[in-house]
Chains A and B, each alone.
Chain A
């Protein structure tokens, strides 16, 4: 056995190991990239459709059931009629809306940011699906909110990168997302957004015109993140939606 303590051996071993490991990982990443990209695209389509009520929830009231991945592409083209990009206060129809990287855009100033808008139609009713991106407690949170002509929320879906399981991670649970349905983002003609509120004395969320949904216990910061994300995003969309309808 060679002397494994020598400097030359150590450096040689490290070099070979780095090359081998680097090679394996690079090959793997390149080989799997198309499949991963496709999964991400399907997920985005599932989320957009879910927000406008196209999902497989049926009679199930407890869990989130997206359109299955093998059908989502077809359903997406069926329900989403137009896509727009809003930039610098101007709205323009664009096929590139789906490709906009929300994470990248969220770092830009609001005046130069590209903001996608998906306009869908289901059962003769128009839905404006708005993507959003914000900060939770630990990491990024994002979601889609679908509004109708009257600026009433028709559906919402949220997701997160690393919120605490059992606490903040519950933003992607059905009971939290369903609370948004029917909430108006306007209050007496003025923009109010939707607040994830603690102690609003309405845990069953029966009052729909209070611009509030019930917060999750133990997840104050994540809830505040959702509030901030919704408030700042929807505000820039309202004038454009009012023009479109």
Chain B
């Protein structure tokens, strides 16, 4: 990280831990619930958001002095939507199978409140370079949580990771299943994502009591 100043480092590293968009700001929960039943989907979503948030933050930051304040939210929405459609179309033309994997998530990127949140809170008031770092940092913070949740949900719910049967075969009763282990189908349902996120929040706050809000 020798390339970045202390302040810039903070922009990237803070959202990974003490200012995480999901566990601290509790943004982007809807997509975290929807797509974390499988690890692969989580990774794909994390990469897509990284791309859209990084570029979107730069675009908004470049336009920050000319955007009329009355319609700034709509302008932000148009920027996200345009970026997402561009990504979608280019993938469809040149990486068709990947675009099929992404199908559902592309729409979800637009509705991700982290993206609008960063545009509004950061890119509108800071230069393009800082906005880019902020976008990358927040997307990484979002992605890390997504991947952790996806890891546990797929492992405990389906007994697989990225589609590989890591715990053995549930029908042939091999591996762990031979001693009576069963997949927990409940892990695949959305409420369990919320509970896993809740557990992460609990662990994080008990390790760092400064994060706990005073009542």
A: which residues have CB within 8 A of B?
1, 4-5, 9-10, 13-14, 17-18, 21, 24-25, 28-29, 32, 35-36, 39, 42-43, 62-63, 69, 161-162, 164-167, 203-204, 217-218
Cβ–Cβ contact B66 & A28, under 8 A: no
In the assembled complex, the CB of A47 is this many whole angstroms from the nearest CB of chain B, namely 12
Judge whether B25 is part of the interface by a CB distance below 8 angstroms: no
| A98 → chain B closest CB, angstroms | 18
Whether A167 contacts B37 by the Cβ 8 Å rule is yes
Docked-complex contact A21 and B82, CB < 8 angstroms: yes
Given that A14-B71, A21-B78 are contacting pairs, would A166 and B38 also be in contact in the complex, using a CB cutoff of 8 Å? Answer: yes
Report Cα–Cα, A16/B89, bound state, in Å: 23
Q: Which residues of B contact A203 (CB under 8 A)?
A: 171
Q: Report whether A32 and B90 are in contact in the complex, using a CB–CB cutoff of 8 Å.
A: yes
Distance in angstroms between the alpha carbons of A25 and B94 in the assembled complex: 17
Please tell me if B55 contacts chain A, counting CB pairs below 8 Å: no
Residues of A within 8 A of B35 (CB): 165
Looking at the assembled complex, report how far the CB atom of A48 sits from the nearest CB atom of chain B, in whole angstroms. Answer: 17
- Asked if B96 CB lies within 8 Å of chain A CBs, one says yes
For A14, A43, A164, A165, the residue with the greatest tally of chain B CB atoms inside 10 Å of its CB is: A165
Is there an interface contact between B103 and A161, defined as CB atoms closer than 8 Å?
yes
Total residues of chain B contacting the partner, CB 8 A? 34
Residues of chain B from 5 to 47 with CB closer than 8 A to chain A in the complex:
35, 37-38, 41
Q: Report yes or no: A166 in contact with B157, Cβ–Cβ below 8 A.
A: yes
A178 to chain B, nearest CB (A): 13
**Chain B residues within 8 Å of A204, by CB:** 171
Shortest A184–chain B CB gap in Å is: 23
Decide if A36 touches B93 in the complex (CB within 8 Å).
yes
Residue of B nearest to A21 (CB): B82
Q: For residue B68, which residues in chain A have a CB less than 8 angstroms away from its CB?
A: 4-5, 9-10, 13-14
- Known A4-B69, A10-B68: A29·B89 in contact at CB below 8 Å: yes
The residue of chain B having its C-beta at the shortest distance from the C-beta of A28 within the complex is B89
Q: Which of B178-198 contact A (CB under 8 A)?
A: 185, 188-189
Q: How far is the CA of A164 from the CA of B193 in the complex (A)?
A: 14
- Does B82 lie within 8 Å of A165, measured CB to CB? no
Question: Does any Cβ of A come within 8 Å of B86's Cβ?
Answer: yes
Chain A residues in 8 Å Cβ range of B38 = 165-166
Measured CB to CB, the nearest residue on chain A to B94 is A35
**Known A-B contacts A28-B86, A43-B96; A13 and B67 likewise in contact (beta carbons under 8 Å):** yes
Cβ of A13 and Cβ of B104 under 8 Å apart?
no
Say yes or no for B207: interface residue by CB 8 A criterion: no
A32's partner among B82, B89, B157 (CB-CB below 8 A) is B89
Q: Which residue of B lies closest to A217 (CB)?
A: B185
A10-B70, A164-B37 known; 7 other A-B pairs, CB under 8 Å?
A4-B67, A5-B68, A10-B71, A25-B85, A25-B86, A32-B92, A69-B96
Q: What A residues does B185 contact at CB under 8 A?
A: 217-218
Q: How far is the CB of B129 from chain A (nearest CB, A)?
A: 21
- Can you name 8 A-B residue pairings with CB atoms under 8 Å? A13-B67, A24-B86, A32-B92, A32-B93, A36-B92, A42-B96, A166-B188, A218-B189
| Chain A residue contacts of B85, Cβ below 8 A | 25, 28
Question: B158 on the interface (CB 8 Å rule)?
Answer: yes
Least Cβ–Cβ distance between A189 and chain B, in angstroms:
33
Q: In the assembled complex, which residues on chain B have CB atoms less than 8 Å from the CB atom of A25?
A: 82, 85-86
B125 CB to closest chain A CB (Å) equals: 14
Q: In the assembly, what is the distance between CA of A18 and CA of B85, in Å?
A: 15
Give the distance in Å from the alpha carbon of A167 to the alpha carbon of B90 in the complex.
28
Q: Which residues from chain A contact B188 at a C-beta distance below 8 Å?
A: 166-167, 218
Let me know if B208 is at the binding interface, CB within 8 A: no
In the assembled complex, the CB of A235 is this many whole angstroms from the nearest CB of chain B, namely 30
In the assembled complex, the CB of B196 is this many whole angstroms from the nearest CB of chain A, namely 14
Interface pairs A-B: 8 shortest CB-CB: A166-B37, A35-B93, A32-B93, A39-B96, A10-B68, A165-B41, A166-B38, A36-B92
Q: What's the least CB distance linking A89 to chain B, in Å?
A: 36
> Is the CB of B201 closer than 8 A to any CB of chain A?
no
Assess the A39–B70 pair: CB atoms within 8 A.
no
